[in-house]
Amino acid sequence: GDYANPTSIFKATEMLLNHIGFKAAASKLAKALEICTETEKSIVVTGDTDGATTAEFSEYVMETIKTIS
């Protein structure tokens, strides 16, 4: 649904990237998830209409990845 939390998909992607040897990409994704879910938390998925949508949170993660060097 529109309000499902995509964090587990991102974590699975991180694990896959690590497994196939894309360690730097996996590390960036892990750092972005840490920022988005623990440190900064500018957008929060609650699983209901009072939180961010899956698309909004996913965009937040992707934009955060762009800021990580």
Question: Tens digits of per-residue pLDDT, 53-64?
Answer: 999 999 999 999
For the record, the structure tokens of 7 come out as 């964090």
CA distance 22 to 3: 30
The C-alpha atoms of residue 8 and residue 56 are separated, in whole angstroms, by 15
* Cα dihedral: 7, 8, 13, 19 (round 10): 130
pTM for this prediction: 0.91
The pLDDT-based confidence of 1 (bands split at 50, 70, 90) is confident
Measuring CA to CA, which residue among 22, 32, 43, 25 is closest to residue 67? 32
* Closest among 24, 66, 20, 38 to 7, alpha carbons compared: 38
